[in-house]
Structure 1
Amino acid sequence: MNLQKILPDRIGFGTAPLGNMFRAVPDDEANATLDAAWDQGIRFYDTAPLYGAGLAEIRLGGLLSSKPRNEFVLSTKVGRVILDEIEEGSHDLGEKGSLFEFGRPNKIVHEWTAEATERSLEGSLKRLGVDRLDIVWVHDISQDFHGDLWLQKFEEARTGAFRVLSRLRDEGVIKAWGLGVNRTEPVELALALEEPRPDGFLLAGRYTLLDHAHALQRLLPMAVEQQVSMVVGGPYSSGVLAGGSHFEYADASTEIVEKVQRLKDLADRHGVSMKAAALQFSLAHPVTAAVIPGATKPSRIAEDLAALHEQIPADFWRELREADLVSPQAPLPGGV
């Protein structure tokens, strides 16, 4: 099913930060942020077992389990099974390093088989306190592996998670499934399959104002041709586009900081907020169904919603193009 027919709005809420990403978020702060999202009309929520070893799902469940189930759209991910057993030492999260070092200490099993997929879904439903999911993403197939190993993991997912989720979709248990990744290659492979066929994909950090050229080369033309939709995760590039210091889950390099400053200088000259430029850029591509910025403070919800509707002059986008700060192939708002 086309994701644009499932999603209620063009903006949702990404809950990775509520898994204590980068810092320990107090429960009352997390709960207040979720309440603010609901009260201000957010009705699409994305989460994953990986986020704090189940912490984000538990916190999100504290909100959604008390709401009418037909009033929101919920997506989570498979590929990680959270155990009751406690991990001795830090979690091995591959390229994501110590991203969730402040999360729960439970052991995490990285597996994309059919059996692990079913266990993952059962665990998510329990932590979220709901009876069904709308969209399920196959999480990070390529994230933690190098060389030919990620292709082996893709094959594990193709014969395991892909088939389970395709069956659940066909049975009406879920509405759609796809890949949730921050690399374009696994989505390109999935779209090249005759079956099982994903309904869409969640691409984190790879179609942002700061980093989009690679996605425009192969993946997004394939998605246009096949009429497959994208949800953009991490639209602020791990926070660096919104005043933070992280890019790609780590401290931003000098090169990245300098490029962000060039973007900000241009935005300031036109009286444009960086959040507005970032969100509206990602949404301008016809493949994009929604963006899902994350937050850990209630005030950020209002900022994101205001950014979505901020009026940006065409001259800003034109100068952005002329300054070679965006790819020539990137669609811009207003057809600039």
Structure 2
Amino acid sequence: MNQGKWQLRDQLGRLGFGGTGVGNLYRAISDEQAAATLEAAWDAGIRYFDTAPHYGLGLSERRMGQVVAAKPREEFVVSTKVGRVLVPSPATKDARDPEGFDVPAEFRREWDPSEAGAKRSIEQSLERLGLEYIDIAYLHDPDVYSMEDAVKTALPALEKLRAEGLVRAIGVGTNTAGAAMECVEAADLDFLMLAGRFTMLEQPGSDGRPGAGLLDRCLELGTGVVSVGVYNSGILAKPDLPSDAHYNYSQASEEILERARLLARVCSEHGVELPTAAIQFPFRHPAVVNVTVGASRPEQISNSAERMSAEVPRELWQDLQERGLIPA
């Protein structure tokens, strides 16, 4: 990785802004609320903003661009994603998006791992964002579509786009540690965006899960890990766990609830709230360069910034290790 890319890594900061919420994930918010949330992120010192065409069928990119494009370009980093290209869909324009975003289904997502598809996706994203260039382009969820396409077509295409200067850096964004490992080994990636697989409740390779050694391998290769989904879709997001807490987008099992409650109790014994420990936990591995969290309200950003800056005593981590709740 050249010096310029190390500089890009440093620009991310510890906390990033994830654009799912301003893309109307699960519920619609107004343009004004989205703008206020993005401005709150800027005011909190956040300078890394992540989005994707998938998020609200382009809505997240448009809303993000309306705020960040007005800021000094050299002061922030924007990442978006390729793989899913948006194609107009007149037949479904009066329906709602079936993939969890409260927006009209005016477009459909089309998997296109080719170089031409990646270029088309980047060009569309630049138009929606109102920017002249993208800092980081991630291949989005290749395991959902085709890992063969990812390894043989999409990743070489991204490497070529980086070499041509269309994007400054490339990576892969995935929820699957095994897929992440396959991509890290297959291409010269600058970044890996790993969603929900390195948290206080779950680590690659633990309990027989795939991806053992993933973060160590990223460190060896110089691939910076951006950790997202650190609350495992909600179960680690509150100091006191409700009985209907969600884990990985589903109702948490009693076993997972009990483990999370134990984590919360140990944190409390050390004067730390569970979400504060959860948002800082990924930095225990040196491959992790940033934690990015989503938000749809300004106060969510304020809470995340406070949790990231709060002091977590070393004794808490030691206690959790001794109890076998987190790895050494």
Scaled by the length of structure 1, what TM-score is found?
Answer: 0.86
SS in structure 1 opposite 2:260?
helix
Structural mapping, 1:158-237, within 5 Å = 158-193=151-186, 196-214=187-205, 217-237=212-232
Distance change in 2, residues 1:202/1:118 (3 Å) = same
Note the alpha carbon deviations across 1:287-326, whole angstroms, 9 max, x for none. Answer: 0011101111101212111111211122211221122211
Offset of residue 4 of structure 1: 4.9
Contact 1:4–1:289 (CA under 8 A) maintained in structure 2: no
Alpha-carbon separation, structure 2, partners of 1:62 and 1:255: 44
Contact 2:115–2:158 (CA under 8 A) maintained in structure 1: no
Alpha-carbon separation, structure 2, partners of 1:87 and 1:310: 50
Distance change in 2, residues 1:168/1:216 (3 Å) = closer
Contact 2:20–2:294 (CA under 8 A) maintained in structure 1: yes
Note the alpha carbon deviations across 1:40-91, whole angstroms, 9 max, x for none. Answer: 2111001111111111111111111212211110100001111232463665
Q: In the alignment, what sits opposite 2:265?
A: 265
Structural mapping, 1:1-336, within 5 Å = 1=1, 4-7=6-9, 8=11, 9-86=13-90, 88=92, 98-100=99-101, 102-105=102-105, 106-142=107-143, 144-145=144-145, 153-193=146-186, 196-214=187-205, 217-243=212-238, 245-328=245-328
Percent of aligned positions that are identical: 37
SS in structure 2 opposite 1:135?
strand
- Choose 256-265 or 154-163, whichever is displaced more: 154-163
Alpha-carbon separation, structure 1, partners of 2:224 and 2:18: 17
Equivalent pairs counted in the alignment come to 312
Q: Which amino acid aligns with 2:125?
A: S
Q: Which amino acid aligns with 2:235?
A: V
Distance change in 2, residues 1:282/1:201 (3 Å) = same
Alpha-carbon separation, structure 2, partners of 1:123 and 1:302: 31
Alpha-carbon separation, structure 1, partners of 2:14 and 2:221: 21
Where does structure 1 lack aligned partners over 5 or more consecutive residues? Answer: 93-97, 146-152, 329-336
Contact 1:91–1:108 (CA under 8 A) maintained in structure 2: no
Contact 1:205–1:235 (CA under 8 A) maintained in structure 2: yes
Alpha-carbon separation, structure 2, partners of 1:179 and 1:32: 29
Offset of residue 169 of structure 1: 1.4
Q: Which amino acid aligns with 2:117?
A: A
SS in structure 2 opposite 1:160?
helix
Where does structure 2 lack aligned partners over 5 or more consecutive residues? Answer: none
Q: Which amino acid aligns with 1:6?
A: L
Contact 2:171–2:190 (CA under 8 A) maintained in structure 1: yes
Q: Which amino acid aligns with 1:5?
A: Q
Alpha-carbon separation, structure 2, partners of 1:44 and 1:87: 36
Distance change in 2, residues 1:274/1:116 (3 Å) = same
Superposition RMSD on alpha carbons, in Å? 2.1
Offset of residue 20 of structure 1: 1.6
SS in structure 2 opposite 1:177?
strand
Offset of residue 137 of structure 1: 0.3
